[in-house]
Amino acid sequence: MQQANTILGLLAQTSIHAGTGSNTGVIDLPIQREGHNGWPCVFGSAMKGALRTRAETHYPRGPDGKLNPSVKFVFGPESNGEIDHAGALMVSDARLLLLPIRSLTSQFKWVTCPDALKRFKRDAERFGMKALQETIPAVTGDNAVVPQQTKDGALFLEEYRFDAKMQNLDGLIKSLANLMQRDDAETALQQQLVIVSNDMFAHLCQHATPVNAHIAIDSDTKTVRNGALWYEETLPPETLLYVGLSATKARAQNAEMPAESILGAVTGLFAQQPWLQVGGNETVGMGWCAIKALGGK
Protein backbone atom coordinates (compact mmCIF):
# COMPACT_ATOMS: atom_id res chain seq x y z
CA MET A 1 0.00 0.00 0.00
CA GLN A 2 1.42 3.35 -1.03
CA GLN A 3 1.83 5.75 1.86
CA ALA A 4 2.90 9.35 2.37
CA ASN A 5 4.47 10.19 5.73
CA THR A 6 5.67 13.15 7.70
CA ILE A 7 6.42 14.19 11.27
CA LEU A 8 4.98 17.34 12.82
CA GLY A 9 6.95 19.17 15.48
CA LEU A 10 4.74 20.81 18.12
CA LEU A 11 6.39 23.62 20.08
CA ALA A 12 4.06 24.72 22.87
CA GLN A 13 3.48 28.47 22.99
CA THR A 14 1.04 28.30 25.91
CA SER A 15 0.39 25.73 28.63
CA ILE A 16 -1.20 22.49 27.41
CA HIS A 17 -3.74 20.42 29.31
CA ALA A 18 -4.52 17.19 27.49
CA GLY A 19 -6.26 15.56 30.41
CA THR A 20 -7.34 12.10 31.46
CA GLY A 21 -10.40 13.19 33.44
CA SER A 22 -10.74 12.95 37.20
CA ASN A 23 -8.19 11.23 39.39
CA THR A 24 -8.07 9.87 42.94
CA GLY A 25 -4.56 11.23 43.60
CA VAL A 26 -3.40 14.62 44.81
CA ILE A 27 -3.82 16.16 41.33
CA ASP A 28 -7.49 16.27 40.41
CA LEU A 29 -6.92 16.77 36.68
CA PRO A 30 -3.65 15.14 35.58
CA ILE A 31 -2.23 15.23 32.06
CA GLN A 32 -1.97 12.26 29.73
CA ARG A 33 1.10 10.07 30.21
CA GLU A 34 2.60 6.97 28.69
CA GLY A 35 1.82 3.94 30.80
CA HIS A 36 5.26 2.31 30.85
CA ASN A 37 7.52 5.27 31.64
CA GLY A 38 5.29 8.08 32.92
CA TRP A 39 6.45 10.56 30.28
CA PRO A 40 3.82 13.19 29.31
CA CYS A 41 2.19 12.73 25.92
CA VAL A 42 -0.95 13.58 23.95
CA PHE A 43 -2.81 10.49 22.80
CA GLY A 44 -3.31 9.98 19.08
CA SER A 45 -7.10 10.20 19.41
CA ALA A 46 -6.78 13.69 20.91
CA MET A 47 -4.32 14.76 18.22
CA LYS A 48 -6.55 13.48 15.43
CA GLY A 49 -9.51 15.31 16.94
CA ALA A 50 -7.54 18.55 17.08
CA LEU A 51 -6.44 18.16 13.47
CA ARG A 52 -9.99 17.42 12.34
CA THR A 53 -11.35 20.47 14.15
CA ARG A 54 -8.76 22.64 12.42
CA ALA A 55 -9.56 21.04 9.05
CA GLU A 56 -13.31 21.61 9.40
CA THR A 57 -12.58 25.30 9.97
CA HIS A 58 -10.07 25.53 7.13
CA TYR A 59 -12.10 23.58 4.55
CA PRO A 60 -15.70 24.87 4.72
CA ARG A 61 -18.76 22.77 3.99
CA GLY A 62 -20.44 22.94 0.61
CA PRO A 63 -23.71 24.78 -0.10
CA ASP A 64 -25.58 21.55 0.62
CA GLY A 65 -24.03 21.32 4.10
CA LYS A 66 -21.91 18.28 3.27
CA LEU A 67 -18.36 17.89 4.47
CA ASN A 68 -15.56 19.11 2.26
CA PRO A 69 -13.76 16.14 0.60
CA SER A 70 -10.53 17.29 2.28
CA VAL A 71 -12.22 16.54 5.60
CA LYS A 72 -14.40 13.55 4.71
CA PHE A 73 -11.78 11.53 2.84
CA VAL A 74 -8.93 12.45 5.19
CA PHE A 75 -10.61 11.97 8.57
CA GLY A 76 -13.71 9.97 7.68
CA PRO A 77 -17.40 10.91 7.36
CA GLU A 78 -19.49 12.24 10.20
CA SER A 79 -20.52 9.64 12.77
CA ASN A 80 -24.20 10.61 12.89
CA GLY A 81 -25.13 8.17 10.17
CA GLU A 82 -23.98 4.97 8.53
CA ILE A 83 -20.23 5.04 7.90
CA ASP A 84 -19.34 3.57 4.52
CA HIS A 85 -15.58 4.13 4.72
CA ALA A 86 -12.85 5.09 7.17
CA GLY A 87 -10.51 8.02 6.99
CA ALA A 88 -7.17 7.73 5.20
CA LEU A 89 -4.99 9.45 7.81
CA MET A 90 -3.22 7.66 10.65
CA VAL A 91 -2.05 9.80 13.59
CA SER A 92 0.41 8.69 16.27
CA ASP A 93 0.63 9.87 19.84
CA ALA A 94 2.39 13.19 20.33
CA ARG A 95 5.59 12.13 22.10
CA LEU A 96 7.79 14.25 24.34
CA LEU A 97 11.22 15.27 23.08
CA LEU A 98 12.23 18.39 25.05
CA LEU A 99 10.87 19.38 28.46
CA PRO A 100 11.55 22.93 29.73
CA ILE A 101 12.89 22.87 33.28
CA ARG A 102 13.64 25.75 35.64
CA SER A 103 17.31 26.47 36.24
CA LEU A 104 19.07 28.54 38.89
CA THR A 105 21.69 29.70 36.39
CA SER A 106 19.60 30.62 33.33
CA GLN A 107 16.07 31.33 32.12
CA PHE A 108 15.27 27.62 31.64
CA LYS A 109 16.80 24.55 30.04
CA TRP A 110 15.41 22.23 27.40
CA VAL A 111 15.97 18.82 28.93
CA THR A 112 15.95 15.47 27.17
CA CYS A 113 17.59 12.05 27.62
CA PRO A 114 19.25 9.39 25.44
CA ASP A 115 16.14 7.17 25.32
CA ALA A 116 13.92 10.04 24.13
CA LEU A 117 16.38 10.88 21.37
CA LYS A 118 16.81 7.24 20.33
CA ARG A 119 13.05 6.78 20.17
CA PHE A 120 12.69 9.85 17.98
CA LYS A 121 15.34 8.41 15.69
CA ARG A 122 13.48 5.09 15.45
CA ASP A 123 10.15 6.80 14.87
CA ALA A 124 11.62 8.91 12.07
CA GLU A 125 13.03 5.79 10.41
CA ARG A 126 9.62 4.11 10.67
CA PHE A 127 8.15 7.02 8.73
CA GLY A 128 10.86 6.79 6.09
CA MET A 129 13.00 9.71 7.28
CA LYS A 130 16.48 10.12 8.70
CA ALA A 131 15.82 13.01 11.01
CA LEU A 132 18.58 12.20 13.50
CA GLN A 133 21.85 10.75 12.23
CA GLU A 134 24.20 12.00 14.94
CA THR A 135 25.65 9.87 17.73
CA ILE A 136 23.55 10.19 20.86
CA PRO A 137 25.63 10.78 24.01
CA ALA A 138 25.46 8.27 26.85
CA VAL A 139 24.62 9.88 30.20
CA THR A 140 24.46 8.25 33.63
CA GLY A 141 23.97 9.24 37.25
CA ASP A 142 24.08 12.94 38.10
CA ASN A 143 25.97 13.85 34.95
CA ALA A 144 24.61 16.03 32.16
CA VAL A 145 25.80 16.81 28.63
CA VAL A 146 25.60 20.42 27.42
CA PRO A 147 26.80 22.19 24.24
CA GLN A 148 28.42 25.08 26.16
CA GLN A 149 30.66 25.14 29.19
CA THR A 150 28.96 26.01 32.49
CA LYS A 151 30.47 27.89 35.41
CA ASP A 152 32.53 25.54 37.61
CA GLY A 153 31.11 22.61 35.64
CA ALA A 154 27.90 22.76 37.66
CA LEU A 155 24.33 22.80 36.38
CA PHE A 156 21.21 23.29 38.49
CA LEU A 157 17.79 22.04 37.38
CA GLU A 158 14.97 22.56 39.88
CA GLU A 159 16.66 21.68 43.21
CA TYR A 160 19.15 19.21 41.69
CA ARG A 161 22.82 19.73 40.93
CA PHE A 162 24.45 18.07 37.92
CA ASP A 163 28.03 17.71 36.77
CA ALA A 164 27.88 19.26 33.30
CA LYS A 165 30.21 17.97 30.59
CA MET A 166 30.58 20.02 27.42
CA GLN A 167 30.27 18.14 24.14
CA ASN A 168 29.82 19.13 20.51
CA LEU A 169 26.09 18.76 19.85
CA ASP A 170 25.87 20.80 16.64
CA GLY A 171 24.40 17.99 14.55
CA LEU A 172 21.85 17.06 17.20
CA ILE A 173 20.86 20.70 17.67
CA LYS A 174 20.30 21.15 13.94
CA SER A 175 18.06 18.08 13.86
CA LEU A 176 15.99 19.26 16.82
CA ALA A 177 15.72 22.78 15.38
CA ASN A 178 14.08 21.29 12.28
CA LEU A 179 11.06 20.49 14.50
CA MET A 180 10.80 23.95 16.02
CA GLN A 181 8.81 26.75 14.40
CA ARG A 182 11.09 29.60 15.46
CA ASP A 183 13.86 31.41 13.61
CA ASP A 184 16.39 31.34 16.44
CA ALA A 185 15.92 27.67 17.33
CA GLU A 186 19.55 26.64 16.82
CA THR A 187 20.91 29.59 18.79
CA ALA A 188 18.49 28.95 21.66
CA LEU A 189 19.31 25.24 21.75
CA GLN A 190 23.05 26.00 21.87
CA GLN A 191 22.42 27.92 25.07
CA GLN A 192 19.71 25.82 26.68
CA LEU A 193 19.90 22.15 25.59
CA VAL A 194 20.71 19.63 28.32
CA ILE A 195 20.87 15.83 28.10
CA VAL A 196 20.42 14.01 31.41
CA SER A 197 20.19 10.33 32.28
CA ASN A 198 17.05 8.34 31.46
CA ASP A 199 16.18 7.87 35.14
CA MET A 200 16.61 11.56 35.96
CA PHE A 201 14.50 12.55 32.97
CA ALA A 202 11.72 10.24 34.14
CA HIS A 203 11.90 11.84 37.60
CA LEU A 204 11.68 15.35 36.17
CA CYS A 205 8.74 14.32 33.98
CA GLN A 206 6.87 13.20 37.09
CA HIS A 207 7.72 16.05 39.44
CA ALA A 208 8.61 19.16 37.39
CA THR A 209 5.36 19.73 35.48
CA PRO A 210 3.29 22.73 36.64
CA VAL A 211 0.28 22.10 38.89
CA ASN A 212 -2.12 25.03 39.29
CA ALA A 213 -4.96 25.53 41.73
CA HIS A 214 -8.35 26.56 40.30
CA ILE A 215 -11.27 27.97 42.24
CA ALA A 216 -14.80 29.19 41.59
CA ILE A 217 -15.95 32.30 43.47
CA ASP A 218 -19.46 32.74 44.82
CA SER A 219 -20.65 36.02 43.31
CA ASP A 220 -22.55 37.01 46.47
CA THR A 221 -20.07 36.16 49.22
CA LYS A 222 -16.91 36.62 47.11
CA THR A 223 -15.51 33.45 48.66
CA VAL A 224 -14.71 30.07 47.18
CA ARG A 225 -17.77 27.98 46.50
CA ASN A 226 -18.09 24.81 48.54
CA GLY A 227 -16.09 22.08 46.82
CA ALA A 228 -15.00 24.38 43.99
CA LEU A 229 -11.25 23.96 44.45
CA TRP A 230 -9.26 21.66 42.19
CA TYR A 231 -5.68 21.16 41.03
CA GLU A 232 -4.85 20.93 37.35
CA GLU A 233 -1.60 19.71 35.80
CA THR A 234 -0.24 21.12 32.55
CA LEU A 235 2.67 20.87 30.16
CA PRO A 236 4.56 24.19 30.26
CA PRO A 237 5.13 26.54 27.31
CA GLU A 238 8.24 25.71 25.23
CA THR A 239 7.63 21.95 25.51
CA LEU A 240 8.60 20.18 22.28
CA LEU A 241 6.53 17.20 21.14
CA TYR A 242 6.33 15.41 17.81
CA VAL A 243 3.58 13.44 16.09
CA GLY A 244 3.81 11.10 13.11
CA LEU A 245 1.32 11.24 10.24
CA SER A 246 0.85 8.47 7.67
CA ALA A 247 -1.61 8.74 4.80
CA THR A 248 -2.99 6.25 2.27
CA LYS A 249 -5.20 6.89 -0.73
CA ALA A 250 -8.82 7.73 0.02
CA ARG A 251 -10.84 4.66 1.04
CA ALA A 252 -14.19 5.87 -0.35
CA GLN A 253 -15.34 4.30 -3.59
CA ASN A 254 -14.62 6.41 -6.68
CA ALA A 255 -12.60 8.89 -4.62
CA GLU A 256 -9.59 10.18 -6.53
CA MET A 257 -7.32 11.30 -3.71
CA PRO A 258 -3.88 9.64 -3.60
CA ALA A 259 -1.84 9.42 -0.41
CA GLU A 260 0.13 12.57 -1.25
CA SER A 261 -3.10 14.57 -1.56
CA ILE A 262 -4.43 13.20 1.73
CA LEU A 263 -1.26 14.21 3.54
CA GLY A 264 -1.12 17.53 1.71
CA ALA A 265 -4.62 18.36 2.95
CA VAL A 266 -3.24 18.14 6.51
CA THR A 267 0.12 19.86 6.09
CA GLY A 268 -1.60 22.55 4.04
CA LEU A 269 -3.52 23.56 7.15
CA PHE A 270 -0.34 25.15 8.49
CA ALA A 271 1.08 26.73 5.33
CA GLN A 272 -0.09 30.24 6.24
CA GLN A 273 -1.03 29.89 9.91
CA PRO A 274 1.31 27.35 11.56
CA TRP A 275 -0.61 26.91 14.82
CA LEU A 276 -2.80 24.21 16.31
CA GLN A 277 -4.87 24.15 19.49
CA VAL A 278 -4.52 20.87 21.42
CA GLY A 279 -6.24 19.73 24.60
CA GLY A 280 -8.70 21.57 26.83
CA ASN A 281 -9.21 25.09 28.18
CA GLU A 282 -9.16 26.71 24.74
CA THR A 283 -11.30 29.60 26.03
CA VAL A 284 -8.55 30.66 28.44
CA GLY A 285 -5.83 30.50 25.80
CA MET A 286 -4.33 27.10 26.56
CA GLY A 287 -3.12 24.42 24.16
CA TRP A 288 -1.58 26.51 21.36
CA CYS A 289 1.37 24.95 19.55
CA ALA A 290 3.55 26.17 16.68
CA ILE A 291 3.65 23.49 13.97
CA LYS A 292 6.53 22.58 11.67
CA ALA A 293 6.43 19.60 9.30
CA LEU A 294 9.31 17.43 8.17
CA GLY A 295 9.32 16.03 4.65
CA GLY A 296 9.36 12.32 3.80
CA LYS A 297 8.48 9.72 1.21
Confidence of residue 1 (pLDDT cuts 50, 70, 90): low
What is the model's pTM?
Answer: 0.93
Please report the pLDDT score of residue 253 as a whole number: 81
Print the SS3 string covering the chain. CCCEEEEEEEEECCCECCECCCCCCCCCECECECCCCCCEEECHHHHHHHHHHHHHHHCCCCCCCCCCHHHHHHHCCCCCCCCCCCCCEEECCEEEEEEEEEECCCCEEEEECHHHHHHHHHHHHHCCCCCCCCCCCCCCCCEEEECCCCHHHEEEECCEEEEEEECCCHHHHHHHHCCCCCCCHHHHHHHHEEEECHHHHHHHHHHCCCEEEEEEECCCCCCEEEEEEEEEECECCCCEEEEEEEECCCCCCCCCCCHHHHHHHHHHHHCCCCEEECCCCHHHCCCEEEEEEECCC
Query: How far apart are alpha carbons 32 and 19 in whole angstroms?
Result: 5
Please write the tens of the pLDDT for every residue from 248-285: 999 888 788 999 999 999 999 999 999 999 999 999 99
Please write the tens of the pLDDT for every residue from 202-222: 999 999 999 999 888 888 888
Please report the pLDDT score of residue 255 as a whole number: 81
Overall domain count for the chain: 1
Q: What domain range is 172 assigned to?
A: 4-294
Amino acid, res. 49: G
Query: How far apart are alpha carbons 255 and 262 in whole angstroms?
Result: 11
Please write the tens of the pLDDT for every residue from 141-184: 999 999 988 878 899 999 999 999 999 999 999 999 999 999 99
